[in-house]
Amino acid sequence: MKFAVITDVHGNYDALETVLDDIDRRGDIDKIYNLGDNIGVGHETNKVLDDIFDRDDMEIISGNHDEAIMALVNGTPYPEDLKGKFYEHHQWIQQHLDEDYYDKLNNLPRVIEQTICGKKVLVIHYEIPNDKLDDTIDLQPFSPIETATEANMQSLFEDKNADLILFGHNHTVHLFDDKEKIYFNPGSVGLNNGPNAVYGIVTIDEKGIDIERVKVAYDNEEFLRGFDEKQVPGKQLIFDKFI
């Protein structure tokens, strides 16, 4: 089986389209795993959701930004750790979110577990301890981000039983193989520090697991202009921290 891994689109439609076009051009990708944070930070919310929910070859999980925005939609508690950073921005996203996507976003799983060619594959946005997998987003179930080292990934995901762990959240590439587990984060599709979008390709067969990280160039000028044109709240923080 050969599949693509995308994560952290963050409302960047042009980057997403570039990645999906590249995947489709190859013609040999069986499935796409989407690891969450499709909305928030960027401003092209509904265009991104139109694309991902329109595909029948994509399996999608939720990310922390997706869940925080849906907490505002649902009138449930909002996570304290995001209040000083993204509250007004997430309110803006909520106000522009098409109601047709409420149920779809609310029903996204946090975890996908599959066995492919005898290998156990875990798909998760970032580590959530097993005893917190059912905690609501206001309880801050996602673990703090760890520096990208093999030892840190071993410790972070020590409670997870898998041969391959696919994750996102931290927008930098991770690829570690400790002989028991492979840890792979291809990096953010939508927030990759410049006019490039990234994703991963994983091949699993009787020989084992092969992983490739793909970088594709795209024109990010329209995406950047949109923050001013749409008067997106939190622009300065977003540009300082993510773009």
Spell out the domains of the chain, with CATH numbers in brackets: 2-241 (3.60.21.10)
Task: Specify the pLDDT at position 243.
Answer: 85
CB distance 204 to 25 below 8 Å: no
**Percent of the chain's residues with pLDDT above 70:** 100
Asked whether residue 142 carries a pLDDT value surpassing 90, the answer given is yes
Instruction: Tabulate helix, strand, coil % of the chain (nearest 5).
Output: 35, 25, 40
The predicted-structure confidence for 198-237, as pLDDT tens digits, reads as follows 999 999 999 999 999 999 999 999 999 999 999 999 999 9
**CA-wise closest residue to 12 among 196, 150, 211, 159:** 196
Place of tokens 């067969």: 205
Token couple for 231:
């008067």
Task: Specify the pLDDT at position 193.
Answer: 81
On average, the pLDDT of the chain sits at 97
Asked whether residue 109 carries a pLDDT value surpassing 90, the answer given is yes
